[in-house]
Amino acid sequence: MNGARSLLSTLVDAGVDVCFANPGTSEMHFVAALDDVPAMRGVLCLFEGVVTGAADGYGRVADRPAATLLHLGPGLGNGLANLHNARRARTPVVNIVGDHATYHGRYDAPLQSDIASIAGAVSGWYRSSARAGDVAGDAADAVAAALGPPGCVATLVLPADSSWSESSTGPCPPRPRGRPSVVPADTVEEVAKALRSGERSALFLGGTAVRADALLAASRVAAATGAALLGETFPANLERGAGVPAVERLAYLAEMAQAQLEGVRHLVLVDAKAPVSFFAYPGKASDLVPAGCTVHTLARPGEDAGGALEALAEVLGAPPDGSVLAAAVRPDRPTGAVSTESLAAAVGATLPEGAIVVDEGNTSGLFVSGATAGAPRHDWLTLTGGAIGIGLPMATGAAVAAPERPVLCLEADGSAMYTLQALWSQAREGLNVTTVVLSNRSYAILNMELHRVGADAGGPQARRLLDLTDPDLDFCDLARGMGVPARRVENAEDLVTALEAGFAEPGPTLVEVPL
Ligand SMILES: Cc1ncc(C[n+]2csc(CCOP(=O)(O)OP(=O)(O)O)c2C)c(N)n1
Ligand SMILES: [Mg+2]
């Protein structure tokens, strides 16, 4: 057995059985070994940003890593933005980067580059397997590191000779799975004391604390103490909808976030960082914690946030059935023109039970969250790291992780164009993804930011850099060219029909919504 085969077997034994891949010559033995280890599903993606975004979406939904396969430094670099988003989401990813054979490096062949530096920007764990006999053990370590908790991008570099040479060891059994550490009772007591003070308080929830079980406990705490429930602006995977306690997300715009936090004297972080402004603006605050507010940390990443919230609820004497659940309410099916409001209502009226919503709708998607608050229970995946171009790949990975669940991808037009190739992988793999392209023909948010940062009003040259016309993008033609059926809708009735058809039919569809 060569190193590549020992790698694939080790990954599969550790529960990593999907590999999103864009291979090159140095990865050929890995590719060849896929036929020896059929339990590993290889999914070809036509750009590395699709590979890495799909691995992120898979990990957020499956709670275990997918593998990537990337081609040396340039392939890794192409995938970097979505690895950055995965790092922010604390998604487990086993990031495999092929490299030249160890002895070839000193010749400085054209594809030679500083892989360690590129990987360093996003990796919580990094190793290069110097010998074929090391590969399996390194792979088992990579899976354990990726899983954490907290999850991270674990980058394993696979030199071509480590891949093709005979392994002295064969596959390696999985490492014991790490457990989240228990939050000390003292910490819980200290937070309970702050919440009992009678001063205005809020729980600030992120990471694992926005999953349903943790939200149930958080809601008990809120009901017992009057504390507000606030969520991170961009959660990795927020469970929401009818029957789940609702959490208000902190607004993207700093002044709106400041209004939400105004008067809060105790801010309790639960698997979240203290809130900061997304960008700096001249003359405005970066730190959004209000003056006079004490920040308490109930659970850090890697700690058992759900368990800590339950312990807190117990210490506070909150009744077990004290959570407040979102009621089942849907907007009426909208009629008339398509607008950001009728788009939101159409999604709210049709979203099926168990759906996964991938939200890269940006400015046009603003109202969808409100319109789906009482829709049947669903997951909401967002742009954790602010690096656009994740939506279509993330939807691809989510659909591979949960083939029985419909995936809705709300995708702004500008962001769609970064990684549009994901549609081809969705068609090839027959994934049930309904992509709604929000075609406002603009980098709309940047038009707004131009003013907010205090830059000059923006003349024609500036506007030309923020505008997506001339020529217009035809998303239906683009989708069809990659094997995905598509239609453009001109009114809300057609949008409702298109969404229902998209959810019901297997395989991908794309709906272009001119806004
Ligand atoms: C990787 C990356 N490149 C560039 C940007 C800067 N950026 C932020 S929003 C945006 C345009 C968004 O346009 P679109 O996706 O159409 O959403 P809209 O603002 O129109 O709602 C750009 C280019 C970014 N956030 N990430
Ligand atoms: Mg746009």
Ligand 1 center to residue 415 CA distance, Å? Answer: 6
Ligand closest to CA 340: 1
Ligand 1 center to residue 432 CA distance, Å? Answer: 26
Ligand 1 center to residue 304 CA distance, Å? Answer: 34
What does the block give as tokens for 320?
């077990």
For range 119-135, the mean pLDDT: 98
- Identify residue 408 by its one-letter amino acid code: L
Q: Is the pLDDT of residue 15 over 80?
A: yes
Residue 349 has a pLDDT of 98
Ligand 2 center to residue 471 CA distance, Å? Answer: 14
Q: Specify the ligand 1 atom closest to the Cα of 447.
A: 19
pLDDT more than 70, % of the chain: 100
Overall residue count recorded for the chain in this entry: 515
Residue 452 has a pLDDT of 84
Q: Is the beta carbon of 413 within 6 A of some atom in ligand 1?
A: yes
CA distance 181 to 158: 32
For range 119-137, the mean pLDDT: 98
Ligand 1 center to residue 414 CA distance, Å? Answer: 6
In this structure, the residue with its CA closest to atom 21 of ligand 1 is 363
Q: Is the beta carbon of 444 within 6 A of some atom in ligand 1?
A: yes
Q: Is the pLDDT of residue 300 over 90?
A: yes
Please tell me the number of Cα atoms within 13 Å of 497 on its side-chain side.
9
Residue 451 has a pLDDT of 84
What does the block give as tokens for 37?
């280890």
Ligand closest to CA 513: 2
For range 101-127, the mean pLDDT: 98
Residue to mutate (ligand 1; options 82, 253, 415; most atoms within 8 A of CB): 415
CA distances from 12 to 34, 143, 294, 409 (A): 11, 10, 46, 29
For range 451-472, the mean pLDDT: 89
Residue 223: closest CA among 323, 308, 298, 311: 323
For range 83-110, the mean pLDDT: 98
Query: Three-state SS string across 208-237, please?
Result: HHHCHHHHHHHHHHHHHHCCEEEECCCCCC
Q: Specify the ligand 1 atom closest to the Cα of 361.
A: 21
pLDDT by residue (tens digit) across 339-390?
A: 999 999 999 999 999 999 999 999 999 999 999 999 999 999 999 999 999 9
DSSP string, 137-178: HHHHHHHHHHHSSSP-EEEEEEEHHHHHSBPSS---PPPPPP
In this structure, the residue with its CA closest to atom 10 of ligand 1 is 443
Q: Is the beta carbon of 439 within 6 A of some atom in ligand 1?
A: no
Q: Specify the ligand 1 atom closest to the Cα of 386.
A: 25
CA distance 140 to 10: 6
**Phi, psi values for residue 439, rounded to 5°:** -95, 85
CA distance 456 to 454: 6
Residue to mutate (ligand 1; options 87, 362, 384; most atoms within 8 A of CB): 362
CA distance 238 to 373: 12
Place of tokens 């088992």: 140
What's CA 293's distance to the chain center, in Å?
A: 30
First CA to last CA distance, the chain: 56
Ligand closest to CA 445: 1
pLDDT by residue (tens digit) across 441-456?
A: 999 999 988 888 888 7
pLDDT by residue (tens digit) across 31-53?
A: 999 999 999 999 999 999 999 99
In this structure, the residue with its CA closest to atom 12 of ligand 1 is 443
